[in-house]
Amino acid sequence: MPLWLLLPALAVLIPLFAYPLYQLGLLSLFEYGQPQVSGGEPAVFLGTRNYGTLFSDENFWTVLLQTVVFAFACVVATLAVGAFLAVLLTKIGRVPRFMLLLAALCAWAAPAMTGSVVWMFLFDTNLGLVNEVLGTDGYNWLYDKHVGFALVGAAVVWHSFPFVMITLYAGITAIPQSVLEAASLDGATAFTTFRRIIVPMLRPLIAIVVIQSVIWDFKVFTQIYVMTNGGGIAGQNLVLNVYAYQKAFASSQYGLGSAIGVVMTVILLGITLLYLRALRRTGEAL
């Protein structure tokens, strides 16, 4: 019966995801550039040579490390901000709760392009509000590599935390009040209640938001591309998605760009499977 119930979802997911992934993997095995796109030359089968070229490129490993560190920092920050505000929503009154939810939903609904442009305007070197308030006129926030990543990360967290906040808030409100009252009567502090009661009961929801956040933050493209003008000065703020775009479209190496896409997919699948396996060992798998 479970398999039969999954058939409608599979009927939708296979055409939408499996076939494009198959084409991505197939393209990564060919030399496919502008001559092949225009139909002037046939695609040349290379086998795994695109992957060999990729793995022998020191720049790829640098970008991969930057992507992992950047994604990890964004996921941790997003979970921290979202969890804090989710708990805060349970402590404040109706009107402040409504205002906070409205502000969060506005941030969530804003397109990534729009949000990136707004953040760029706020931190503009000459006309930015932040420089005006801090008295640092002329300071370029994107000149330094680490400051640039921090600024882009703040924009990513701003756009992502509402999902975590609303998901965890819904889970907290579903916890029976009798359980929380019993903990309070036993003398548990708010932090102890959160750590020993709320977090274990929300573990399945936390698994969802962690996996979603890892996927979203690992494949960030718009914020990096827009805010750093394609990867920053001399490519210092590159992440894998922007790196793949440069290889595929700026350099017309579509096969090599596809190989980067396949590597990203494998990494994300591996992270997801490892996390679900860890949850299964604790008996909390979905």
Express each pLDDT in 269-284 by its tens digit: 888 888 777 667 655 4
Per the model's pLDDT, the better-predicted residue between 136 and 148 turns out to be 148
Question: What is the domain partition of the chain in residue ranges?
Answer: 44-281
Q: List, for residues 147-161, the tens digit of each pLDDT value.
A: 999 999 999 999 999
Q: Confidence band (pLDDT; 50, 70, 90) for 71?
A: very high
Residue 72 pLDDT greater than 60, yes or no: yes
What is the structure's pLDDT at 283? 54
Q: What average pLDDT does the chain have?
A: 87
Asked whether the predicted pLDDT for residue 286 surpasses 70, the reply is no
HEC assignment per residue over 61-99: HHHHHHHHHHHHHHHHHHHHHHHHHHHHHCCCCHHHHHH
Q: Over range 135-142, report the average pLDDT.
A: 86
Q: Under 8 Å CB-to-CB from 186, ≥6 apart: which residues?
A: none
226 falls in which pLDDT band (50, 70, 90)?
very high
Superfamily of domain 44-281: MetI-like (1.10.3720.10)
Average pLDDT estimate for 102-114: 90
Task: Report the relative pairing of strands 30-31 and 44-45 from DSSP bridges.
Answer: antiparallel
Percent of the chain past pLDDT 70, that is, above it, reads 97
pLDDT category at 285 given cuts 50, 70, 90 is very low
Average confidence (pLDDT) over 117-129: 90
The answer to whether residue 51 scores a pLDDT higher than 80 is yes
Q: Burial-class residue 45 by CB neighbours within 10 Å (0-12, 13-18, 19+).
A: exposed
